[in-house]
Amino acid sequence: MSNAPYVQVDNYLAISMLSLATYDFLLSFPSEVRLAWKRSITPARVIYFVGRYSIFIWFVVGWLPTLNLSLPSCRARRVLTDISYTLLTIVPAAFGALRVFALTGRSWWVTLPVACLGLVPTFMNIMNYIEVNISKQPWGGAVMYCYTRSLLSARVNIICAVATRASAVTFDLIVVAILWRRCQGSIQDIVHDHREYRFPSITLTLLGDGVICFFVILTLNALDIVLWLTIEFEQLLNTILFPFSCILITRCVLHIWETECALEWSHTQDGPTIIFAHFGTLEEARDSPVQSASTV
Q: List, for residues 85-136, the tens digit of each pLDDT value.
A: 899 999 999 999 998 998 888 899 999 999 999 999 999 888 878 878 887 7
Q: Give the model's pLDDT for residue 265.
A: 52
Give the integer Cα–Cα distance in Å for 172 and 164. 12
Q: Rounded to two decimals, what is the model's pTM?
A: 0.80
Q: Delineate the domains of the chain, giving CATH numbers in brackets.
A: 3-294 (1.20.1070)
Closest CA to 295 of 280, 279, 281, 276: 276
DSSP 151: S
Name every residue whose Cβ is closer than 8 Å to that of residue 73 and which is 6 or more positions away in sequence: 146
**152 vs 276: which has the higher pLDDT:** 152
CB-count exposure of residue 9 (10 Å: 0-12, 13-18, 19+): middle
Q: Give the model's pLDDT for residue 211.
A: 73
Whole-number CA gyration radius for the chain: 22
CB-count exposure of residue 289 (10 Å: 0-12, 13-18, 19+): exposed
In contact, 151 and 208? CB cutoff 8 Å: no
Q: Where do the H-state alpha helices sit in 184-270? A: 187-197, 202-205, 211-230, 238-266
Bridge partners (DSSP) listed for residue 135: 147
Give the integer Cα–Cα distance in Å for 91 and 47. 6
Give the integer Cα–Cα distance in Å for 76 and 128. 16
Torsion 93-85-5-152 (CA) sign: negative
Which amino acid type is present at position 163? A
Closest CA to 8 of 243, 238, 233, 244: 233
**How far does Cα 195 stand from its chain's mean position?**
31
Worst-scoring range by mean pLDDT, 57-71, 83-97, 180-194, 201-215?
Answer: 180-194
Closest CA to 81 of 21, 146, 143: 146
**Mean pLDDT, to the nearest integer, of 198-226?**
74
Residue 178's pLDDT band, with cuts at 50, 70 and 90, is confident
Average pLDDT, the chain: 77
Residue 258's pLDDT band, with cuts at 50, 70 and 90, is confident
| 223-233 pLDDT per residue, tens | 888 888 776 66
